[in-house]
Structure 1
Amino acid sequence: MSVDSALRSNAEDLPWVIQKYGGTSVGKFLEEISTNIVHTYMNTNRVIVVCSARSGETKEKGTTNRLLRAAKEALTPGSREHLQIVKALLDDHLKSAREIIRDKAILEPLERQIEYDCVKLKSFLEAAQIIDEVSPRSKDIIIGVGEKLSCRIVAAALRDRGIDAEFISLGSIIEGDMNTVLDQPFYDDLASRMAKAISAAGNKVPVVTGFFGNVPGSLLSTIGRGYTDLCAALLAVGLEAQELQIWKEVDGIFTADPRKVSGARLLPIITPEEAAELTYYGSEVIHPFTMEQVIRASIPIRIKNVENPKGQGTIIFPDHASANGYATPPPAPEELAKNGYHLDLTRKHPTAVTVKDKVCVLNIHSNRKNVSHGFLAKIFTILDKYNIIVDLISTSEVHVSMALGAEVVDNSLETAREELEKLGLVDIIHNMAILSLVGKQMKNMVGISGKMFSTLAQANVNIEMISQGASEINISCVIDEKMALSAMNAIHKHLLSVSPAVNISASDEIKVVA
């Protein structure tokens, strides 16, 4: 009997844990994942592994970016670059497979599967070149190859280490009978279908593609590059998992970026609202929509580090704990009967500070003596026309200031400016940053805004604009990008230096006391 069989003889009685691994983790830390992490959780859980496409040395060399470039090159007259990209991807994945897989009986079928996937990709790109078209759906199919290659290697690596794993592709999970509107019932139905697809694996460890193509309107267009996280979230919902784990190369969520603030502390627990605000304003946590799918089912999300798997990580904890949300890691059965479960998030200070760089400020001063009631409507109609997203806004009767994120294309902004100048005087300030102070309980902290701005004044940081009110847990301001680092350090030192007493163990409830 294999080690895996012995561990999983009663696997059907164990709760599910969904583990999502990003491209960098799969590319650089597969040995740790296959030898240690998955095996450890199998003692107490049924594990599902969801993988992104493998990343390269740089973001541009990542599998998904190379596949998107191949799709573009296929439409370039006379280009053979797309074929070279496929050849390079084939060589890279074969090399990785040969480095991680020791058993030839496992390696040889894997090599044939990788070669077959790349041959199909090559033929698909050649067909696209002939018809001179890559539709949004075709682009989805092309990028989906990245997850297939990644998951095949991960499944084989697990089998090579005695874990009975099975590769599962969700590329055809969406069928014609599904609702074509991407509303909540669509995602609920999709979660249910994903759960049924996983049941075919029995007691094996499913290694699932983050790609689930055929989404109405294109997966890449409607959901974006974070679709792997969403796939893991829907699996957690469909299977009523005990928790969703997001494995990264950081220990969790910090009070500030630890690369920029030496005193930054790991946050053992954080609310979904705080995580959503931190994600939007600069910290890479998890997409708010993806998080919403899991939290509404009262399933905790744990951020963990593949380089430090024994670390406690950060738990994004549902506001209203249910049967699936007592505590993570899961307590022993006798612990669940205790009535002393307590979760106190009434911190007496903000939770974290974050900075979003490469921001520009758009100022519009009305040129009309009597401002029309449609002034703001006209502004946003123009911005919407050029797909310009506003991060922050501050208004007076005749003046509007808006902070625009780094995704704004200069050409679109300049074209929009020409139309906006019909409404009034327009100026654009570049090289700015948004500094955000986030905390669930800040609405109850009298004088916190004054402390924040006086701290910035003492650090000689000038404020271009202020925004507060849209969110009760976020105070944001726009500052010069050159001052962002010193501003973040000053705010952290004066407003976030107090740490709550924390007690988290694997066999007891979570207790956080401010």
Structure 2
Amino acid sequence: MRVLKFGGTSVGSAEMITNVISILQTYAKKDRVICVVSAIGGITDKLIAAGHLAKDKNENYIHNYKAIKDQHLSIIKALIPESNDTITREIKALLTELKNLLDGIYLINELSPKTSDKLTSFGELMSSLIVAEALKFNKIKATRKNSQDLIITNNKFTKADVNYMISHKAINDYFNDSKESITVLPGFISKSEYGEPTTLGRGGSDFTASIVASALKVNQLEIWTDVSGMFTSNPKLVKQAIPIKSLSYQEAMELSHFGAKVLYAPTVQPALDAKIPIVIKNTLDPEAEGTLISDDIALVNSSPVKGLSHISDIALLTLQGSGMVGIPGISKRLFETLANEKINVILITQASSEHSICFGIESADAKRAKNAIHKTFEFEISQHKIDRLIVETDLSIIALVGDNMKNHQGISGRMFSSLGKNNINIRAIAQGASERNISAVIDSNDIKKALNCLHERFFEDHIKRMNVFITGVGNVGERLIDQIRKQETYLHDNLKMTIKIVGLSNSKKMVFNEDGLDLEQWPFKLRDDGENSSLKGFLKKAVELNLRNSVFIDITASDAVANMYGDYLKHNIAVIACNKIACSSDFDLYQNLKRLSLKYNAPFLYETNVGAGLPVIDTLNNLVASGDKITSIQAVLSGSLNFIFNNFNERKNFHDTVKQAQFEGYTEPDPRIDLSGIDVARKTLILARESGIPMEVDDVTNDSFLTENNLKAKSVDDFYKTLKADEPHFQKIFQAAKQKGCRLKYVAEYKKGKSRIGLKEIAKDHPFYNLEGKDNIVMFYTQRYPKQPMIIKGAGAGADVTASGLFADIIRIGNN
């Protein structure tokens, strides 16, 4: 004999019921089958809603009733198109009874637990009749038996306790006499010892199936639903979640208790007592393996962590006070109070000092719990021995579950470090001595982020997902996206990392996709589907998505964007800045961004601020971190200026050379930023600050080679006109260097706390002389490198190398 239970989605439509019939037909060829069914999907919620509307004197309850009626009659019509008079008559009789009950609730405006049980029982009563009649219509021998005749309970309405002795006898007596191939039972519903309708709690159809299976000692209990087993986490929140092949009974109970809705928690106990394996199967994919729940040690001990679950809408209540220390009976009085109010305690943690007791309950019970506890401890509160109850809401519990966690060191550490790295604040922790379950209370807004970062840590072969937001998708941005696209396979296979670009913006449009934008089609997505661009709107969306390992990349030269870095860091979103403004503005702002980065565990990287893709800042930071001290720096830090002075000569005028540099992407859109020296000043300032010197940009002496006319130009066009007019000035500088056998290089120097930048004549024996093209060079003189400096040299400008520098910063964060 087999017991199969089908959930609400499995019988939610005529098409789904047809799938159920096919499954039952296959099973019935081999064995007798007991089929337990839930109400049609969504009906129980509609029944409850109709009851509350009627209680509140809201005549809209009639609309709910009509929707329930229409849904059932349309399914009958689709399933049994011919000769459906009998089933239609039976369903209409139940619907009439339902309507009378709702009318009665409306008249007396009262919905007691007893009446609620009678009201909600209609869903299963009707669905079981329909499934049984559909089987008969398909020439399958079947009967329907009312579970209220078999499962007997006390009168604890809405979640009754089963009398197993009486129920087991009734089940055995009936099925010993029954000879039908298939027996359909309504789940969830039962009857008290006094003959009154009761229910087994929401999700109780699973429980019905387990009670029947344990009474008959069948070989296996099968729970059929719309997913292929219990998953490592909620697949609606964690896209990478996968079915769990096997669980112990205790692991299944823990996961279902902490929110895994595939299985109703009390279901496990009867099967456990009778040692009956439970299999979770998918009605839509009957061939899928599903999840096996058993006590087979070889199966269940395969992995230390089996699943990750959560409960939402939790309130955390804390009772504390000096008058609790050393006083026996405080806990007893507290939990007796909650028990008398029928309030379920989900999580408990107590300080070792006995100064406080913290516990989690459903948010809906928080007010009632608070009032009852204040009444119980009224005297102690009045004497200031116990404080008034602290109630925190909008919380959730997240739980890591696995029987074998106790045999593996560091599970708790890995869990909490993963949450900490993503700035997820933990309000309370509970862990039993068995270490089967490690639970933490967190803010409800962080649930999705927490589930994903923990799932990534424990179930995804350590593949770390980086969620990237980019502002400024011009030339450099395009190259960065293309580099990420081309390296996807390498990153996954070699660095165990995947980079998803989830937000893009330019000056006009912005677009988002939580699952990651298509890296080939993104320009069209931005153009066609993007909303109007807004710096604050971009930040707001990034914060609302609240994704793990979030990174914001600024590829602009905007003050407004740079001024928002702190807002990103405060929300645990790492910042990568191509923009130099933030790090070269007021020293206090620079320091504040560093502090925010540490406080909120959000990296702040800006390698491309100096040397584009060259590891200049990273090398400098490593020197300082290792205890070395910078004594002086000499550098050519402008790839654009190096390109210009390498190409400018007596045959090619200065104006055309600058134009070429701009055309090839070596200068900023406004070349005055490069030629005025302000760009090099900012880079020099950043290097000084990274060396530990609290310097401002005005402290950098700038020996400008431009004319007064050049510096006074009010626009880029005017600037270019002055370059033409002042060509003799630039030729004079060039010829003076040439006559000495020197080359012109724009040099930055730092020594003894002072910085200077300017155009220099470089002799042939100097390391800067042969610096070609757009290359940069930096020489660090330190206590460890006093005579022969550490030299970093390479391309210091261009979209590709700048994009590679940004890419390297993403990887640095990912490897952290």
Mark yes or no: TM-score above 0.5: yes
| Aligned 8 A contact 1:164 1:204 in 2 | yes
CA distance in 1, matches of 2:66, 2:88: 14
CA distance in 2, matches of 1:76, 1:486: 39
**Within 5 A, what are the aligned runs for 1:68-147?**
68-71=48-51, 85-102=64-81, 104-105=82-83, 107-123=84-100, 136-147=113-124
- The more displaced of 355-364 and 377-386 is 377-386
| Aligned 8 A contact 1:257 1:354 in 2 | yes
- The more displaced of 436-445 and 354-363 is 354-363
| Matched AA of 1:349 | P
Question: Among 449, 455, 480, which residue is 1:492 paired with?
Answer: 455
Deviation of the 1:183 alpha carbon? 7.3
CA distance in 2, matches of 1:390, 1:124: 33
CA distance in 2, matches of 1:211, 1:417: 33
Task: Evaluate the alpha carbon distance shift between residue 488 and residue 152 of structure 1 in structure 2; reply closer, same or farther with a 3 A threshold.
Answer: same
Identity among equivalent pairs (%): 30
Deviation of the 1:84 alpha carbon? 5.8
**Within 5 A, what are the aligned runs for 1:106-505?**
107-123=84-100, 136-173=113-150, 186-210=163-187, 212-216=189-193, 223-317=200-294, 319=295, 343-368=298-323, 371-396=326-351, 397-416=353-372, 418-419=374-375, 422=381, 423-469=386-432, 471-498=434-461
Q: Which residue of 2 aligns with 1:511?
A: none
| Matched AA of 2:68 | L
Q: Which residue of 2 aligns with 1:54?
A: 40
| Matched AA of 1:91 | D
TM-score by length of 1: 0.77
CA distance in 2, matches of 1:131, 1:391: 35
> Secondary structure of the equivalent of 2:338?
helix
Task: Evaluate the alpha carbon distance shift between residue 183 and residue 68 of structure 1 in structure 2; reply closer, same or farther with a 3 A threshold.
Answer: closer
Q: Which residue of 2 aligns with 1:502?
A: none
Deviation of the 1:276 alpha carbon? 0.7
> Secondary structure of the equivalent of 1:358?
strand
> Secondary structure of the equivalent of 1:251?
coil
| Matched AA of 1:97 | I
CA distance in 1, matches of 2:397, 2:433: 15
CA distance in 2, matches of 1:131, 1:426: 37
- The more displaced of 138-147 and 121-130 is 121-130
| Aligned 8 A contact 2:308 2:398 in 1 | yes
CA distance in 1, matches of 2:308, 2:326: 37
| Matched AA of 1:487 | A
| Matched AA of 1:89 | I
Task: Evaluate the alpha carbon distance shift between residue 118 and residue 426 of structure 1 in structure 2; reply closer, same or farther with a 3 A threshold.
Answer: closer
| Matched AA of 1:194 | I
| Matched AA of 2:362 | A
| Aligned 8 A contact 1:54 1:150 in 2 | yes
Deviation of the 1:297 alpha carbon? 1.0
Between the two structures, name the one with larger relative contact order (CA 8 Å, sep ≥ 6): 1
CA distance in 2, matches of 1:234, 1:275: 17
Q: Deviations over 1:177-226 (max 9, x none)?
A: x9999877x31431231233245541331111225432248988773233
- The more displaced of 132-141 and 472-481 is 132-141
Question: Among 42, 50, 65, which residue is 2:28 paired with?
Answer: 42
| Matched AA of 1:314 | T
CA distance in 1, matches of 2:325, 2:269: 43
| Aligned 8 A contact 2:189 2:199 in 1 | no
Deviation of the 1:275 alpha carbon? 0.7
CA distance in 2, matches of 1:459, 1:128: 50
Q: Deviations over 1:265-303 (max 9, x none)?
A: 211111110011111112113233321111211111111
> Secondary structure of the equivalent of 2:368?
helix
CA distance in 2, matches of 1:425, 1:73: 36
| Aligned 8 A contact 2:337 2:373 in 1 | no
Deviation of the 1:460 alpha carbon? 2.3
CA distance in 2, matches of 1:27, 1:345: 33
Task: Evaluate the alpha carbon distance shift between residue 437 and residue 88 of structure 1 in structure 2; reply closer, same or farther with a 3 A threshold.
Answer: closer
CA distance in 1, matches of 2:398, 2:55: 42
Deviation of the 1:441 alpha carbon? 0.6
CA distance in 2, matches of 1:272, 1:282: 16
Structure 2 residues without counterparts, runs of 5 or longer: 463-816
Deviation of the 1:159 alpha carbon? 2.1
| Aligned 8 A contact 1:368 1:424 in 2 | no
Cα RMSD (Å): 3.3
| Aligned 8 A contact 1:353 1:435 in 2 | yes
| Aligned 8 A contact 1:361 1:401 in 2 | no
CA distance in 2, matches of 1:358, 1:132: 28
| Aligned 8 A contact 1:194 1:238 in 2 | yes
CA distance in 2, matches of 1:307, 1:454: 39
CA distance in 1, matches of 2:125, 2:199: 21
> Secondary structure of the equivalent of 1:405?
strand
Task: Evaluate the alpha carbon distance shift between residue 448 and residue 219 of structure 1 in structure 2; reply closer, same or farther with a 3 A threshold.
Answer: farther
| Aligned 8 A contact 1:18 1:241 in 2 | yes
| Aligned 8 A contact 1:70 1:82 in 2 | yes
| Aligned 8 A contact 1:18 1:50 in 2 | yes
Task: Evaluate the alpha carbon distance shift between residue 129 and residue 490 of structure 1 in structure 2; reply closer, same or farther with a 3 A threshold.
Answer: closer
| Matched AA of 1:67 | L
Deviation of the 1:253 alpha carbon? 0.9
Q: Which residue of 2 aligns with 1:503?
A: none
Task: Evaluate the alpha carbon distance shift between residue 251 and residue 296 of structure 1 in structure 2; reply closer, same or farther with a 3 A threshold.
Answer: same
Task: Evaluate the alpha carbon distance shift between residue 273 and residue 366 of structure 1 in structure 2; reply closer, same or farther with a 3 A threshold.
Answer: same
Task: Evaluate the alpha carbon distance shift between residue 406 and residue 99 of structure 1 in structure 2; reply closer, same or farther with a 3 A threshold.
Answer: same
| Matched AA of 2:327 | S
Deviation of the 1:83 alpha carbon? 6.0
Structure 1 residues without counterparts, runs of 5 or longer: 1-15, 57-61, 322-341, 500-514
Q: Deviations over 1:439-479 (max 9, x none)?
A: 11111112222222222222222222211126530111122
Q: Which residue of 2 aligns with 1:10?
A: none
| Aligned 8 A contact 1:363 1:399 in 2 | no
Q: Which residue of 2 aligns with 1:20?
A: 5
| Aligned 8 A contact 1:137 1:214 in 2 | no
Deviation of the 1:120 alpha carbon? 3.7
| Aligned 8 A contact 1:151 1:208 in 2 | yes
CA distance in 2, matches of 1:207, 1:392: 38
Q: Which residue of 1 aligns with 2:658?
A: none
| Matched AA of 1:433 | S
Task: Evaluate the alpha carbon distance shift between residue 349 and residue 398 of structure 1 in structure 2; reply closer, same or farther with a 3 A threshold.
Answer: closer
CA distance in 2, matches of 1:307, 1:72: 34
CA distance in 1, matches of 2:416, 2:286: 39
Task: Evaluate the alpha carbon distance shift between residue 424 and residue 271 of structure 1 in structure 2; reply closer, same or farther with a 3 A threshold.
Answer: same
| Aligned 8 A contact 1:219 1:227 in 2 | no
- The more displaced of 108-117 and 214-223 is 214-223
